Structure 1
């Protein structure tokens, strides 16, 4: 499990509006210390990450203006593959993020590959201090400050199962093939869909809509992300199939909590031909306990930064307790439980165990109401932000608010 070791960090590190913030990713502690001294003397705040998981959490939790990215983190690694994978993850999170690749063992060829992937520039180790500072300063001047920071959810990839799914998603992302992402509620289907869209050959933002609240299909082309596609009406199923069969069709990324066999019973056969082209299945959280440990580190730091509160200690006993839970709502439920740990400042029963101790079981209506209400409270009833977190449109969220008296 990642332990955050930002020696320079207080809870408000990189939240001081007058100083730019740099994230340096390198597993060498001595190099991190040297870089920290170098940039702090020049009025640049620095966050230190020692591996990919820690880097993604810090990027999601703080308004980072620039990244210095080493390409190897594991002992003996020289290929740069770890850094290239992290670079792609970072650019999914922040497409306009300036990244300077720092390379030594991997050489110029891997640095050039990193620039093809989206890096801004590269420097060689051992670096010249004055040249490095000059490059960092010029990049900061060119790209400006990240004053509009808005943290986004991160797709954490630790278990082999998730790594394999993400690898397959990255492989087919540049194509125009339709994709079906299935898995139980709360596993991260929308995060994977957004990743595919980010690496898609289609330009522009994706059109995201819920079949449950859909009266018509989007008019624009590009990438369509359809949630709960099993709820699509027969009329819209026919229209969607016609659009996919026509000239200049959209690229459909369909999300469903049903498996392929169950979905085939709900949707028309012609539409299923498109949905069967590429199928990605995300397993429930209880089947990948190693992800729970990584997610715990991520969410505890993320919410401590978001709420300006101390980060609770998370030891082996806490992780074992989290891994023993069933998590019926998967990552979504784990996220809510760990946010509560941060806010309350102490470890308590998880949401699933507390629910099991109530006198009556929760209904689907109760669960949806609690999720909607929690999201609204987290964003001080900002409907736009709450809808974004829940993966809903503003009108869809307003309907649910009216339905539940919120």
Structure 2
């Protein structure tokens, strides 16, 4: 994968690598790369360190490098630096990059470094596959979004995962609790073992043979224990007795309030709170774009993104079932669409009621808040490149600058 905002570079590198028998995925920004990597695997990643015109300090690239390695500790990243960027290249290597290449590069040198990165990653994968009992490898789970709230969660996952601590992931249903749990497992030393998802109710039942077998398989891996707070006191006692002493527990719950002190001590050494989507400014739009790409690939129905009005509606809506509800709405809109940009009139692009007695919450049609969220999402999506963000929003540079001043960017 090449992550670079210059389309000419994409075209040149794709031709160069193609001649060497290497397929290339292209992403114009880090946010696009995270979405694409959630859907497709890359053996090596070429990462430009600057995305905003005139910037040479590499801050955007270093942030992307940290996130790529946080999501996938085995990622083989080759950073691209300017001609005089030796100091930056050395810093990138210290930060975990596999290698670096200088602009302007020699074609043979670039191909050689990419081939070395691919070979390194495949060796790592082979080692992990041999260590796993089933020999199966899966792509790392990724917590998508650019808000401070989800970045805080990613930071906690990066710090907690390498330890053996048990973790309780709390938050509303549909907010990504199980995804965070799998991310913790993947980034841990237990990633070579199995992550076994079990409902707490089943795990607490002495007669449930299948759950008992799952708990046994997870002795060298991780038990992802779902809905631990749904058990009464007696069931919590039974569950505590059945949990393997040598298994790592990552549990999910809406809150820890209903857990007994002994069970909390076993499964909640550390607690991570998944934020509701309403507390993640800008993320709903980024996630909707990602879900649209996923639905496009799944159903073979090309889409051309969303209209500005639709993205404002997405940003302003309180989504029943959180991220999961947003994903369902976007998939419906893609399936029912006609290939044109998805607009507010598009069938399916509304939250669905949870039951016949329940109606979805009305969108929070606060236009200023919606506009601010869209601008923030566009700026982050394009690494604060004003020209690209303005184009994405359908604004002139001057109009975007006025709105940025209005909202304090």
Contact 1:60-1:302 within 8 A present in 2 as well: no
Unaligned runs of 5+ in 2: 126-135, 360-409
Query: Which residue in 2 is equivalent to 1:171?
Result: 159
For 1:278, the equivalent position in structure 2 comes to: 270
- How far off is 1:354 after superposition? 4.4
Q: Tell me the TM-score normalized by structure 2.
A: 0.68
Residues 33-90 of structure 1, C-alpha deviations (whole Å, 9 max, x = no match): 4323433455544332122210022223345454222344356342442232232255
Shift of 1:150: 7.6
Q: Retained in 2: the 8 A contact 1:186–1:332?
A: yes
Match of 1:329 in 2: 321
- Residues 66-215 of structure 1 aligned to structure 2 (within 5 Å): 66-74=44-52, 76=55, 77-79=57-59, 80-89=61-70, 91=72, 98-104=76-82, 105=85, 107-115=88-96, 120-137=98-115, 140=118, 154-205=142-193, 206-214=195-203, 215=208
Could you say what secondary structure the match of 1:202 adopts? Answer: helix
The verdict on how the C-alpha distance between 1:82 and 1:73 changes in structure 2, with shifts beyond 3 A counting, is farther
* Matching of residues 4-403 of structure 1 within 5 Å: 23-42=1-20, 44-62=22-40, 64-74=42-52, 76=55, 77-79=57-59, 80-89=61-70, 91=72, 98-104=76-82, 105=85, 107-115=88-96, 120-137=98-115, 140=118, 154-205=142-193, 206-214=195-203, 215=208, 216-217=211-212, 218-219=215-216, 220-232=219-231, 233-239=235-241, 243-244=244-245, 249-257=246-254, 259-261=255-257, 263=258, 267-346=259-338, 347=342, 348-350=346-348, 353-355=351-353, 360-361=357-358
1:112 positional shift: 2.3
TM-score, structure 1 length as denominator?
0.68
- The separation in 2 between residues aligned to 1:155 and 1:226, in whole angstroms, is 19
Q: Is the 8 A contact 2:225 2:251 kept in 1?
A: yes
**CA separation in 2, counterparts of 1:322 and 1:284?**
14
Distance 1:113 1:209 in 2: 39
Deviations 1:153-196 (A, max 9, x none): 64213111111121122122222222110011111111111221
Aligned positions, number: 322
CA distance in 2, matches of 1:39, 1:222: 38
In 2, distance between residues paired with 1:159 and 1:138?
Answer: 34
Contact persistence 2:140–2:186 (CA under 8 A) = no
Structure 1 unmatched ranges of 5 or more: 1-22, 363-406
Once residues 173 and 143 of structure 1 are traced to their aligned partners in structure 2, the CA distance between those partners, rounded to angstroms, is 21
Please tell me whether the aligned partners of residues 200 and 239 of structure 2 are also in contact (alpha carbons under 8 angstroms). no
* 8 A contact 1:207–1:224 mirrored in 2: yes
Q: CA deviation at 1:137?
A: 4.2
How far 1:349 moved relative to its partner?
Answer: 4.5
Q: 2: distance between equivalents of 1:198 and 1:73?
A: 29
RMSD after superposition: 3.3
Tell me the secondary structure at the aligned position of residue 282 of structure 2.
helix
- 1:279 aligns to what SS in structure 2? strand
CA-CA distance at 1:98 after TM superposition: 4.5
Residues 101 and 114 in structure 1, CA contact (< 8 A), matched pair in contact too:
no
1:133 deviates by 1.9
* Aligned mates of 1:109, 1:60 — CA distance in 2: 28
Distance 2:156 2:13 in 1: 36
**Contact 2:222–2:248 under 8 Å retained in 1:** yes
CA–CA distance in 2 between the matches of 1:153 and 1:226? 17
CA distance in 2, matches of 1:44, 1:131: 15
Call closer, same or farther: CA 1:103–1:57 in 2, change over 3 Å.
same
| Alignment partners' CA distance in 2, 1:229 and 1:198 | 21
Alpha-carbon offset, residue 303 of structure 1:
2.0
Measured at CA, do residues 29 and 48 of structure 1 come closer, stay the same or move farther in structure 2, by a change above 3 Å? same
